[in-house]
Structure 1
Amino acid sequence: MISNLPKGRQGGRSFTLSCSVRFEVYPFYNASGVAAPAPSPSPLPPAPAPAPTPAPETRSKGRSNKSIVIAIAITVPLGGVMVLLSLICCILRRKGKKMYEVIKGKSGAKELTTVESLQFDLAIIQVATNYFSHENKLGEGGFGEVFQGRLPNGQQIAVKRLSQRSKQGDEEFKNEILLVAKLQHRNLVRLLGFCLEGDEKLLVYEFVPNKSLDYFLFDPNKRRQLDWPLRYKIIFGIARVMLYLHEDSRLRIIHRDLKCSNILLDSEMNPKIADFGMARIFEVDQTQANTNRIVGTYGYMSPEYAMHGEFSMKSDVYSFGILLLEIICGKKNNFYQDEYFAGYAWNQWRDGTPLAVLDPTIVDSYSRDEVLRCLHICLLCIQEDPALRPTMTTVVLMLSSNSINPPAPQHPAFFVQMKGLELDQSTKRTMPLLINGMSLTDFFPR
C-alpha cells in the first residue's frame, strides 16, 4: 500500500479495502476529536536479584558450627551420666576392695575375688522383711536381731541385722562375708549376700526353718522332740562339717565360737553351722595363733584360749566336746548339783556310772553303746592339754566305727571340786569358774 502513494507531491491519499492513508503539508485533522491514547501499562517490579552463592569456605564454616552444637548437646549429658556411673562404680569397688583385702592378706588365694555380686540394696531387704517388723523377728543375740523375709522371687531368707552395739564389728562383718561365701558344705548355712548402707550392716542367709539347737535342747518340752537317733545325727553332722573346716576345705578355718545357738536346724533337722564372724584362717602348715583380743563364749572356750589367747584347731575340738556333752545331757554347760557340769560328768565316768548324766527324755530311745562312745569322745575333747585332745579326723572315725578303741580320758579342763571351792590337786593353775553364767577369770600375764 505504501508503494501506491503518489510521489513528489505535497499531499496525497490512498484507499484500500483494509487501510486508508492521507498525508499533507498542513494539519488536516481535528486534534480534539482524536481519542487519547490508552495509558501504557505500569512497568513490572524488578525481579529480586538472586542471592549470591556462598563461597565454599563459608558453607563449610556453617556446617561446622552446626556439628559442634550437636556434638555438645550429645556429649555433655552423656558425659554427666558416665561420670555418675563412674562414681557409683568407684564407691562399690572401694567397698568390695576393702572386704577383699581382709581375706586376701591372710590367705593369699588368687582365685578369691571381690564380693560385689553379693550386695543387696537396702530397699529390697526392707521390703522383704516388712521393714524389720516385729512379726518377722526370729530371734536376738549379742550381735543384734534376726528377721525372716521373702525376696521378690519368692525365696525365703533370714537377715541378721547387726546393732551398733554389736560385739561383731566391721572386721568381723567383712570376715564372715568372705569366709562363708567361699565355703560350701551341706552342714554350713549358706550366705546369699549382704548390705552395707549408712549405719546398716546386714547379712542375708538362706532361711533355716527350725531355728537353733538351743531352742530345742534347753526347753523342757521341746527337747522331747530330739530323740537319741536325731541327736546322734546332729552330732555326726557337726563333727563332719568341723572336719571340713579344719582339713577338707580350700581354707583352713578355726571357728572360735562353736556353741548350741550357732547350730541351726533345717526342715529335716540337719545341723548347719552359722556365725563365722569370729573365725580365723590358718595357713596350711600353721598349727596355732595368738591374740590379745579374746572373743567367743565363756564355757565353750578352751583354757589356753581363755587364759592366754592361744587358739588352734584343738580349741574348736574343746568347744565341740562341750557341745557334745550338752547334747547328751540336755543341759547347759553350767553348774549342776553344786558342781561344774564337766566335772560332774567326769566324776560319773570315773565312778562307773556314766549314764547318770543322760537326758531323761531319751531313756526310751538311746543306744547304750553310742551314748557311751559319745561321752568318751566328749571327755577326750575337753582335756586340759591340747595335745591330748583328738583331731576332728579322729573324732569322725570314732563316731562312725566301733573298731577304734579310744584312749582313756584324763580330767577335763576347768575341773573343780566344789568342796570349799578348792581346785583339784591335779589342776596346776587357776582356771575360770562359771557362776550363774558369769565368768570369774584369774588371768596370768603373758
Structure 2
Amino acid sequence: MLDELLAAWISRQRWFGGKGRPIDSLSIDSDVELTPGLRHLIVAVWQEGSRDRYQVLLGERTELPDRLTHALIGTVGDTFLYDAAHDSDRTDWLLEGMARDETHNGLRMRHVPGVIVDTSPRSLVLGAEQSNTSLVYGDAYICKLFRRLIPGVNPELEVVTALAARDAPHIAQPYGWIETDLDGTDTTLAILQEFLTPANDGWGLALASVRDLYASLPEITAAEAGGDFAAESLRLGGATARVHRELAAAFPTDVVAIHEVKLMAEGFRRRLGRAVGEVPELRQHVSAIENAYYRVELLTDEVPVQRVHGDYHLGQVMRTSTDWVVLDFEGEPGQPLAERRALYSPLRDVAGMMRSFDYAARHLLADRPEAETLEPRAQEWADRNRAAFLDGYTRNGGVITPADAALLRAFELSKAVYEVVYEARNRPTWLSIPLAAFRPRTT
C-alpha cells in the first residue's frame, strides 16, 4: 500500500528526475524511525530498466493541519502520511541530531568539529528548488536535503568543509551533515550551512540592473544607468579568482596534455554536429564555431586543471552586505559523481558566468515586441559586465593568457551550443538568447 502511494506521489514532485516516463516499480530500501511520527525512507524507483534512489522524510499524523495538506502523500487507515520536510514540528530532529552527533540505524548525523549548533530555530522550506529541498532555520542555518541519492560524498560537502578549514572567504560556512551507507559507500544525505541574511542572489541583482537600463532614455548608456552592475561584476570576478586559488590549494591539481586538449575540441565538434541536426537555426553559425574550436586545436601548451565549481552562473552567487559568496559546489546534479569531482580548467567556470551575463541581458527580451529595438542595449550591458568580471578576475590572480582566451571562447561556445538545444526543446521563444552568443564580440 505504501509503495503505491509513494509511486503516485513521487512522480509529481519537482525534484523527481524521471518525469515523463512511467514508473515500473518502487520499493523501500531503508525505513528508519527517527522519532514517533517521523520515518526516514530511501526508496528505489525503477524506470525503463534503470534505478534511481530518493530520500523521503515520512510524517505520520492522525490529524493533518491545513498547513500540511499540500504535503500529503496519502492515508493508510486513520493515519495521514505526508512529506515531513514541510513540518516544522518534526524537522527539529535534523538540528538536534547533528548537534549531538547522533546515529540512528545507519543514519549518521554529524557537526563540524568546534561548531556549536543551536537547536532552537524552527524550519521553513524554500520553494524555488528543482532537484533538492532546503530548509531554513530562523536566520541561522540552511539545511539542504539531497533528494536523489548518488553513492559517495557530495562534492558540496567535500568542497565547503575543505575551504572552511582554510578559512577561505566567499563561501557559506558549513556546520554539519547527515550521511549513510549506500552500496557500501559513505553517502551524503544532507548538509547544514550558514544562512546568508541579508543577501541577494546575483541573478536577481543583474536583472534589476537590466530593467533599469531598459527603462532609461535611449541615449543613456549602461555605464550611466542608475542600476549599473559593472562594479559588482568586477567584485564578483575578484571573488571567483580567490575561490579558484583556494580550490587549487585545498585539492590536487594537474595538467592536461596537448593531445587531450585536442580530444576535448573534437568532443565539442561532435556535440555541435548533433546540435545542428536538431536545431537548423544553428547551421549559419557553424563556421564561426568551428573556427573557435580549431584555435583550441592549435594550442601547444599543457592546460592546468583543478577542482572547480562546475555549474557556475549568477544564480549560484549571493551578494551579502560585505562581499560575494559562492554557493552550490555540488556541480551539475544530473552528471555522474566522478565527473562532478573531476579536475577541469577554471576557465570552465568563467565561461559559465560569461553565458550567465548574456542570459541576464536578454532574459527580459523574450516574447517582447520591442526586443529588436532593445537588442543593442542588451549587448552593451552584457559586454560591459563581461569585461568588468574578467577585469576583476585577472586583477585578483585569475590567469587568462592569449592561449587561455582561445580556450575560454571554446568553452563558452560549447555551452551556448548546449543551450541552443535546451531552449529548442523546452523554451523555443528563448532560442534567440543562446544564438546571440555566436556573433562577433570584444569580450
The TM-score with structure 1 as length reference comes to 0.41
Larger Rg: 1
**Relative contact order, higher structure (CA 8 A, sep 6+):** 2
The TM-score with structure 2 as length reference comes to 0.41
**Structure with the higher strand share, 1 or 2:** 2
